[in-house]
Every structure is written in structure tokens, then in C-alpha cells.
Amino acid sequence: MYMKRSDQMPVSNHSQIKPRVWMGVAAMLGCLLATAAPAQQAPKQKQTLSFVVANWDNAIYQTKFMDECPDGPAIGNDENWWRWLSRAEKDKQTERGLTQPVDRRFASVLRGPKGEDVCWNPTVIQEAPLRTIKGKTSYGFNLDGAGDDAATPKSCKHENFTGVDGASGVDNQMYRLLGCHYGWRHNGVLDTFGNEERRNSGRGVVLIEISGIDDPRNSADVSVAFYRALDSFSIDSAGRILPHASYRIDMNNGKPRYGAVAKGKIVDGVLITQPIDLKLPFYGNSAYAEIDLRDMNMKLDLTLGDDGKVRGVVGGYYDFDKWWEYMLKIEFLIATGDWSCPALYEAAKRLADGYPDPKTGECTSISSAFKIDALPAFTLHTTETAENRK
């Protein structure tokens, strides 16, 4: 087991750590003056900063009066079912004690013509079109490089957003798809439960390791690695994730099980990565899933907030099949999350905008963006795997 020695200082801009950086620089400078030969200069020591992702939320841009959803909130599974039942059928259900949507969730999904589960068979019935985002502003990135709505070799025709920061050509069809569901909006049950479960279980913990840093404020060439941690979060007595914990990287056959590396740069304390294809572990809402993002971009503000966290946005094309697989795994939350599978599936297929299938022309992924926050941490490069961990 070894640890990268250069990550002794885990935080770039933390007020308590900053002097250590300067002390280190001063010490290095002192050594340089004292020992270096006149013709030689000691190589400048690169820093590594590591973080553990605490929260991973769909990036939903929302206004005070929900103007981005002019048709209203998306209609959920129960309403789509209950409103078409006869009074006799409603009476029967009520007599069975199924008075609340959450009680009826298993009955309500079995509403295919032959009693099929409409999540596993989302095309067996047709529902009113999903109420989607109609606003013009969104978090995210311009993934296809196009400034207009036209198709490109890597994208289907779709409507672009203007970024929250004013950038043009922002692609985030996942927001268009999910943004009018209460379950995915701010403090919605789905991301909140997901984050809480991940925090409590320690499953699917994502580490970000930024290496090759010359200066935490400005660095032209850095590497950004994404790992899965073997260890659970360190939690305080109030249930908050603690900073500065050490996490082993999950290894497999001598390599990190998840270990995508992006190139990037730090500009005025903000890390900006170049696109890479990224797979990340995910656990939440009692479901394991794998986030599969193509052309993943990340912007991470390395300045610690008052809560000791760094914040940023991750975006990319989310593999459609993997996303839908996750939706099936969390079907039991259909009432609390308040979505309807047939309408959602139809809209998702329609809004998918990334990587068209060469044969069918149908897009196989959906542009998406996620808000993340993360805490300073230490990454331990080990030989241990999830199977043999102690």
C-alpha cells in the first residue's frame, strides 16, 4: 500500500490550510537557495488534491414559480391510472385498503392491457405526453459543439439551452425530461434519498483526484482521475460527512476498478476538464447502477464553501439503457417520486439526443448534467479490492 506523498495538503483554498501551502513553498524555496547548484533548478513539486463526492443530484434549474413547467408538474403513475378507473373499480381498490398512491403503487403499475407491468413494458399503453421543461436556461455543457438545434454526427436534432452562466448551446435533455417531476426537483425525494443512502451505506462512493497541480489557483495542465472508494464515509455525530478522511481506491487486477482520467486545467480556482468517456459507480434508492457518461465534462470550483465543500457540475451523454435500467430498479419509488413509466419512456426516447445508432438513426443516450459537491479527502492507492478488503 502506498499513498501519493504529494497529497499532504488536501485542500487548495481552505483558510486553515493555505498557510501550509505557503510554508511548503517557502521551505522549498529555502532548500533551493541553500542547496541547488547555480546551473540547476530543482523541479517544482506538483500537488495533488483529492475529494470525496458527497452529493450527486440531477442539475435542475428551477424558478420560484415553476415557470419552466408552464403545463404544470408531470402527471404521476397513480393519477394516470386512477383517473381512468370506473367508480366500481375505485370502490374495489378502496375496499382493499388501497387508499393512498403509495399503497396502490404495485397495483397501479400493472395496468397494461393484459395486466402487464407498464414500467417493464412501457410501450404497451400510450399516455398523454409527458409535461417537460419549456424554459430556456439550464445547467450543463455544450456536448455536441453545436450552437444551434441541428443534428450533428454525435447528436440528434434537439433544442439547446442557454447555460446558467450565459453559455450558448447547452445540451441537457435529461433536465427537459425530468425537470417537471417533484421527485427530481430541489429537495425531491429521489436524489435526496439517493444521497442519504449512499452516505449511510458507504456504497458507490466516488473519489476525484486532481494531480499535477502547480498552483491550486491556476494550473495549465492537470490530470483528473475518478475512482470508487473501498471505504465508507466518515460521519460525525450529527450524520454529516467529515472532510479529510482517507479512502482506499477499489482495485481490480492491479488497476483501479473505476479509474477514468481526464486532462484539465485550473483557471482562477475552477477546475475545467476536457471531455472523456466516464463510467462511475452509483448507489442510491436501494439500487446499484453504473453511471455511463460519454463526453463527460466537469467544472469544479475548488474554493471551499462555508460548509467545507467544493461544488461543481458534471455533464455528458448518459447511456439510455443504463439510465432506464436504474429507473426499473427504483420502480418501488414510483409513487413517492411521482412519475409514470409509459409517458417518461416515450419522452426519453423522443428527447434522447446523443450518439445516434448508425442503423436506426435513433439516439442512444441523453445529454445530462449533475450538480455535485465534494469534501477534501485523501486517496490511498492500494492493492485491495472490494472482494478482499479488510
Partner 1 sequence: MMAMIKVPQDIKAKSRVVVLAALAMLGLSACGDSEPLSSGGPATFRRLTETQYRNIITDVFGSHIVVAGRFDPLVRTDGLLSVGASKAVITPSGIERYAALARSVAMQVVNQQSRALLVPCAPVSAYAPDDTCAKVFFAKVGRLLYRRVLSDAEIEQHTKIANVAGAARRDFYVGLGYGLQGMLQSPDFLFITENTEPNSAKDSTERLDGFAKATRLSFLLWNSSPDDALLKAAETGALNTQDGLEQQVDRLMSSPRLKAGVRAFFTDMLALDDFSTLEKDTMIYPAFGLAAADDAKEQVLRTLVDHLVGRDADYRDLFTTRSTFMTSALGLVYRVPATVPGGWSRYEFAENDPRAGIQTLLSFVALHSHPGKSSPTLRGKAVRELLLCQKIPDPPGDVDFSQFNDPNSPSKTARDRLTAHSTVPACAGCHKLMDPIGLAMEKFDGAGQLRDNENGSVIDTSGEINGMKYSDAKGLGQAMRADPSATSCVVNRAYSYAVGRTIDRNERPVISHLEKSFADDGYRFTELMRRIATSQALYAVSAPPVRSAEATNEESKS
- Is there binding between residue 23 and partner 1 (CB under 8 A)? yes
- Is there binding between residue 6 and partner 1 (CB under 8 A)? no
For the chain, what is the radius of gyration of the CA atoms? 24
Identify whether the C-beta of residue 368 lies closer than 8 Å to the C-beta of residue 315.
Answer: yes
Q: Which amino acid is at 273?
A: T
- Is there binding between residue 17 and partner 1 (CB under 8 A)? yes
Taking CB under 8 A as the criterion, the residue among 68, 78, 209, 231 binding partner 1 is 231
CA atoms lying within 13 Å on the CB side of residue 330: 27
Contact mark string toward partner 1, 317..356, x via CB under 8 A: ----------------------------------------
Q: 240 or 349: whose CB is closer to partner 1? A: 240
Coil, helix or strand for 383?
coil
- Is there binding between residue 39 and partner 1 (CB under 8 A)? no
Q: 131 or 198: whose CB is closer to partner 1? A: 198
Can you read off the three cell numbers belonging to residue 351?
Answer: 428527447
The stretch near partner 1 (CB under 8 A) out of 16-24, 100-108, 182-190, 346-354 is 16-24
Measured CA to CA, the distance from residue 160 to residue 163 in angstroms comes to: 9
- Is there binding between residue 15 and partner 1 (CB under 8 A)? yes
- Is there binding between residue 34 and partner 1 (CB under 8 A)? no
Q: 118 or 230: whose CB is closer to partner 1? A: 230
Measured CA to CA, the distance from residue 321 to residue 150 in angstroms comes to: 24
- Is there binding between residue 32 and partner 1 (CB under 8 A)? no
Taking CB under 8 A as the criterion, the residue among 33, 37, 88, 238 binding partner 1 is 238
Cβ burial, residue 270 (10 Å; 0-12/13-18/19+): middle
Identify whether the C-beta of residue 195 lies closer than 8 Å to the C-beta of residue 237.
Answer: no
Contact mark string toward partner 1, 245..264, x via CB under 8 A: xxxx----------------
The stretch near partner 1 (CB under 8 A) out of 9-17, 183-191, 279-287, 363-371 is 9-17
| Beta bridge partners of residue 266, listed in sequence order | 219, 271
The stretch near partner 1 (CB under 8 A) out of 14-22, 35-43, 287-295, 298-306 is 14-22
Cβ burial, residue 72 (10 Å; 0-12/13-18/19+): exposed
What DSSP line would sit under 92-160, residue for residue? Answer: HHHHTT--STTTTHHHHH--STTS--TTTSTTSS--SPPP----SEES-B-SS--SSSS-BTTB-S---
Q: 16 or 86: whose CB is closer to partner 1? A: 16
Identify whether the C-beta of residue 188 lies closer than 8 Å to the C-beta of residue 181.
Answer: yes
Identify whether the C-beta of residue 71 lies closer than 8 Å to the C-beta of residue 134.
Answer: yes
Taking CB under 8 A as the criterion, the residue among 244, 257, 329, 349 binding partner 1 is 244
Question: What's the CA angle centered on 98, arms 180 and 326, to 5 degrees?
Answer: 40
Q: 23 or 42: whose CB is closer to partner 1? A: 23
The stretch near partner 1 (CB under 8 A) out of 125-133, 227-235, 283-291, 311-319 is 227-235
- Is there binding between residue 378 and partner 1 (CB under 8 A)? yes
Smallest separation (angstroms) from partner 1 to the CB of 40: 21
Residues that bind partner 1 (CB under 8 A): 1-3, 7-8, 10, 15-20, 23-24, 26-27, 230-231, 234, 236-238, 240, 242-248, 376, 378, 380, 390
